[in-house]
Structure 1
Amino acid sequence: MQKTKAALWEFLQGLGKTFMLPVALLAFCGIMLGIGSSLSSDAVTDNLTFLRGEGFHLVFTWMANTGLVAFQFLPVMFAIAIPLGLAREDKGVAAFSGFVGFAAMNLAVNFYLTAKGVDFDDERAIAHYGIADVIGIQSIDTGLLGAVAVGIVVSVLHRRFRGQRMPDALAFFGGLRFVPIVSALTLSVLGLLIPLVWPTFNGWITDLGRGIGHTGVFGPFFFGMGEVLLRPIGLHHILVAMFRFTDVGGAGTVCGDHVSGALNLFYAQLNCSDAPTGDVTSATHFLSQGKMAVYLGGLPGAALAMYHCAKKSMRPEIKALLVSGVVACVVGGITEPLEFLFLFIAPWLYLLHAVLVGLGFLTAAVLGVFIGNTDGNVIDWLVFGVLQGTTTKWYLIPVIAAVWFAAYYFLFRWAIVRFDLRTPGRDEPAEETEGDEAAPQAADEGPRELVAGKYDAVAILDAIGGADNIRSLDNCITRLRMTVEDAERVDEPRLKKLGAVGVIKLDAHNVQVIIGPQVQSVKDAIATMVPVG
């Protein structure tokens, strides 16, 4: 039972992590689409007539078209990214097999519908099956869910068959070459089942989305709070993806095309000049506008409170930590470096923080702010708010953020003083042990590839318990994700001295070390010393 639970945790964390590759591209493409569509729109060019020049028009149109790449090919990108991320070896073969499996599944769906005599132009058939053009194939648009299913199946097949031995006569098709072959065969069979089950399954998802929609502004409230509560265990990516890319987050017809998911709706409407403004508002209830109260105001206020509550002698030492956390939050939309400063010392304060994030979503929905995109940072506010004109009500965000800044500042300052919370700078600096003194020296004198910025990978690995304590090693945006032999061997206090923001021990074998935006460099440096995937 314990092994099953640990395996499930590892799988879910790994699955959530694989979402980050296409989502990162999506965020960039969203900015390209936002800038290109806004600066080529009539509303902007009427006021800035020089932008009507042919050169400007071509550049901004190119930017908008480039931004569409992630939106139009999102499912197939997930089908490729999931096996790529879950595979521990031969990742290229896994990714290739993901595309093969996705294409095979949709070709099988097309075969079934054609053999059954379904008219692809019949509106009732289109509505019943959800027929759409998928990578040039008339198939059923299963969206993110179908892509995730393909990715999981292919990753299982890759792990099982990448070393498959064949008889001598068929040896050419063995080993890694067998993975895309078995993926095509398996997903082709599964594709024949999709027309039988998808209409019913999609109906359940649609009903769930309508149910959430009927909750009004409380839907975004519970979504925002749920995302924060799931963040410590790393499963928030799955919740977010459901709302962004499936009917749970809304569905509708934009410029003649059926679109599912809040983020997909937003991008489609951003690229469609005929989309009604009201539809844009509903599409963004679950997107970045709800985060801006906390990301641009609340958490910076909490950081200032922690700074003022620190001992004066310690303030110079924690200033860089807090400033870097605020910059990551405001500019990058990354909140973990600040959130994990108080999560473990006052979980009830983190719960209140989750409620305030939910209230940020609720407030934005009530006031009719519709800025959209994914990150909730100042870039989203400028590109998808200011540049899109006053109809987005971008001017309300600074006011809301100021209110949240004051609320977080006074709330955190009161809580830290009242309950003597040990936030950064509240403790006297601990005496360094002989081992701790050796760590900086290793960072200065060690090989370049073992030093990731200010982080000493050699010392961090030692604090984790050494190479023999690590079964698997990976990372997401801000944290190392590991399966270890014994979580008790992980030295949390020493990891924090070495620059880690926090350590999460999910069970006896699954551990996460929150590093921050430089986690990829730290993971790569440790990976050179650990013979695991």
Structure 2
Amino acid sequence: MQKTKAALWEFLQGLGKTFMLPVALLAFCGIMLGIGSSLSSEAVTDNLPFLKAEVFHLVFTWMASTGLVAFNFLPVLFAMAIPLGLAREDKGVAAFSGFVGYAAMNLAVNFYLTAKDVDFEDEKTVAHYGIADVLGVQSIDTGLLGAVAVGIVVSVLHRRFRAQRMPDALAFFGGLRFVPIISALVLSVLGLLIPLVWPTFNGWITSVGRGIGHTGVFGPFFFGMGEVLLRPIGLHHILVAMFRFTDVGGSGAVCGDNVSGALSMFYAHLDCSGPPSQAVTEATHFLSQGKMAAYLGGLPGAALAMYHCARREMRPEVKALLVSGVVACVVGGITEPLEFLFLFIAPWLYVIHAVLVGLGFLTAAVLGVFIGNTDGNVIDWLVFGVLQGTTTKWYLVPVIAAVWFAAYYFLFRWAITRFDLKTPGREEPEPPDAVGTDEAPSEETGADGSGDEAAAPREPVAAERELVGGKYDAEAMLDAIGGAGNIQSLDNCITRLRMTVQDAALVDEARLKKLGAVGVMKLDAHNVQVVIGPQVQSVKDAIATMLPVG
């Protein structure tokens, strides 16, 4: 039972991580689409006539067209990214098989509908089945859910048949070549079942979406709060994807096409002229304007409170830590470096933070702020708010952020002093011999320490070692994790190392923090996450080179 639970947990962690590759592309394409569509719109060119020049028009329409690549092909991107992310070896074959499986499934759906003499021109039939053009084939638009199902099935097939042996006469089709073959066969069979079950299943999803819609502005409130509460265990990506790309986040006609998912509807609106429909407006309540209260105001206010509550002699040490966290939050929309400074010290304060994020979503919805996109950072505010004109009500965001800044600042300052929370810079200094080495302990904490270890001396680094990103000793971190033999699998998401280990008890949390980790989460006896920050990919790659191959 324990092994099954650990395996399920590892799978969910890995699945959430695989979403990051297409979502990162989507965020970039969204910025391209936002800039291109706004600077080529009549509203902007009428005020800035020089933008009507043909060269500008061509550049901006090209940017908008490029931005559509992720939106138009999003399901197939997920179908490829999921097996790519879940595969531990031969990732290229897994991704290729994901595309093959997705195409085979939709061709099988088309075969079934054609064999049943389904009328592709009848509006009621099209609505009943959800028929749409998918990769040039008249199929059923299963959206993100179908793509996720394909990705999971292909991942299982890849793991099972990657080393498949065949008789000598068929040896050419064995091994890795067999993976896309079996993927095509299995997904083709599953595709025949989709027309039988999808209308009912899609009806259930639509009912959930309508139920959330009937909660009004409280829907975004619970969504925003839920995302924050799930973030420490890394499952927030799954919740977010449901709202962004399925009927749970809303659905409706946009520019003549039926579109599902809050983010999909928002991007579809960007690509057409005219004011947003009510369906688009309500769906966009689940997007980034809801985060801006906390991201642009609240968490920077919490950082300032932690700075002012630090011991005066330690403020220069924690300043770099807090400033880097604020920059990551405001510019990059990455909140973990700040959130993990108080999550483990005062979990109840993190719950209050989650409620305040939810209230930010509710406030933006009540005031009718219409900005959209994914990250909630200052780039989203500029590109999808300011550049789109006053109809987005972008001018309300600084006001809301200022209120949240004050609320977080006074709440955190009161909580830290009232309950003597050991936020960075409030710990008692350690004696010189507390580090446990023959070398004199360094008093430099650096920009990447945190939590109750933020003021602890950094562990000495061998002079000949090259530090990753100029500050992370990958070899020492591997040793603190329990050595290469303790790691069963190693991967990363945007800010964290995600590991399956033989024994989580061997992971030295205190030492990892002295080596620069922002936080360490032991989810169970085998699953561990180490929060690094923006340099996590480089740290992961450096550690991976020290692990045994295979």
State the TM bucket, normalised to the shorter chain: over 0.9
Contact 2:250–2:279 (Cα < 8 Å) also in 1:
no
Confirm or deny that 1:445 pairs with 2:448.
no
Contact 2:306–2:413 (Cα < 8 Å) also in 1:
yes
Partner residue of 2:501?
484
Q: Report the TM-score, using the length of structure 2 for normalisation.
A: 0.95
Partner residue of 1:496?
513
Contact 1:76–1:99 (Cα < 8 Å) also in 2:
yes
Shift of 1:532: 6.1
Give, in whole Å, the separation in 2 of the partners of 1:435 and 1:394.
Answer: 57
Partner residue of 1:519?
536
Shift of 1:158: 0.2
Contact 2:98–2:150 (Cα < 8 Å) also in 1:
yes
More deviation, 55-64/423-432: 423-432
Secondary structure in 1 matching 2:179 = helix
Contact 2:39–2:387 (Cα < 8 Å) also in 1:
yes
Contact 2:29–2:69 (Cα < 8 Å) also in 1:
yes
Q: Unaligned regions of 5+ residues in structure 1, if any?
A: none
Secondary structure in 2 matching 1:504 = strand
Change (3 A) 1:244 1:36: same
CA RMSD after TM alignment: 1.3
Give, in whole Å, the separation in 1 of the partners of 2:459 and 2:349.
Answer: 34
Give, in whole Å, the separation in 1 of the partners of 2:9 and 2:438.
Answer: 33
Contact 1:105–1:189 (Cα < 8 Å) also in 2:
yes
Shift of 1:428: 2.6
* Equivalent in 495, 502, 505 of residue 522 of structure 2: 505
Contact 2:373–2:384 (Cα < 8 Å) also in 1:
yes
Give, in whole Å, the separation in 1 of the partners of 2:276 and 2:250.
Answer: 15
Partner residue of 2:65?
65
More deviation, 61-70/423-432: 423-432
Partner residue of 2:205?
205
What one-letter code is carried by the residue in structure 1 that aligns with 2:426?
R
Shift of 1:255: 1.4
Give, in whole Å, the separation in 2 of the partners of 1:273 and 1:92.
Answer: 40
Contact 1:502–1:514 (Cα < 8 Å) also in 2:
yes
Confirm or deny that 1:258 pairs with 2:261.
no
Give, in whole Å, the separation in 2 of the partners of 1:121 and 1:277.
Answer: 26
What one-letter code is carried by the residue in structure 2 that aligns with 1:497?
K
Give, in whole Å, the separation in 2 of the partners of 1:38 and 1:21.
Answer: 26
Give, in whole Å, the separation in 1 of the partners of 2:275 and 2:407.
Answer: 37
Confirm or deny that 1:459 pairs with 2:476.
yes
Give, in whole Å, the separation in 1 of the partners of 2:254 and 2:14.
Answer: 34
Secondary structure in 2 matching 1:474 = strand
Partner residue of 1:95?
95
Give, in whole Å, the separation in 1 of the partners of 2:470 and 2:213.
Answer: 46
Change (3 A) 1:29 1:10: same
Secondary structure in 1 matching 2:47 = coil
What one-letter code is carried by the residue in structure 2 that aligns with 1:520?
Q
Contact 1:472–1:532 (Cα < 8 Å) also in 2:
no
Shift of 1:316: 0.8
Contact 1:298–1:409 (Cα < 8 Å) also in 2:
yes
Shift of 1:275: 5.1
Confirm or deny that 1:43 pairs with 2:43.
yes
Shift of 1:443: 5.5
Partner residue of 2:437?
434
Deviations, residues 381-428 of structure 1 (Å, cap 9, x unaligned): 000000000000000000000000000000000000000001000003
Secondary structure in 1 matching 2:273 = coil
Change (3 A) 1:172 1:279: same
Shift of 1:135: 1.0
Secondary structure in 2 matching 1:471 = strand
Shift of 1:435: 7.8
Give, in whole Å, the separation in 2 of the partners of 1:287 and 1:444.
Answer: 47
Contact 1:29–1:67 (Cα < 8 Å) also in 2:
yes
Partner residue of 1:233?
233
What one-letter code is carried by the residue in structure 2 that aligns with 1:135?
L
Q: Unaligned regions of 5+ residues in structure 2, if any?
A: 443-457
Shift of 1:118: 0.4
Give, in whole Å, the separation in 2 of the partners of 1:84 and 1:58.
Answer: 35
Change (3 A) 1:299 1:443: farther
Give, in whole Å, the separation in 1 of the partners of 2:470 and 2:133.
Answer: 46
Secondary structure in 2 matching 1:258 = strand
What one-letter code is carried by the residue in structure 2 that aligns with 1:282?
E
Give, in whole Å, the separation in 2 of the partners of 1:59 and 1:258.
Answer: 29
Give, in whole Å, the separation in 1 of the partners of 2:279 and 2:364.
Answer: 15
Give, in whole Å, the separation in 2 of the partners of 1:90 and 1:427.
Answer: 47
Secondary structure in 2 matching 1:33 = helix
Contact 2:435–2:459 (Cα < 8 Å) also in 1:
no
What one-letter code is carried by the residue in structure 1 that aligns with 2:526?
H
Shift of 1:531: 2.5
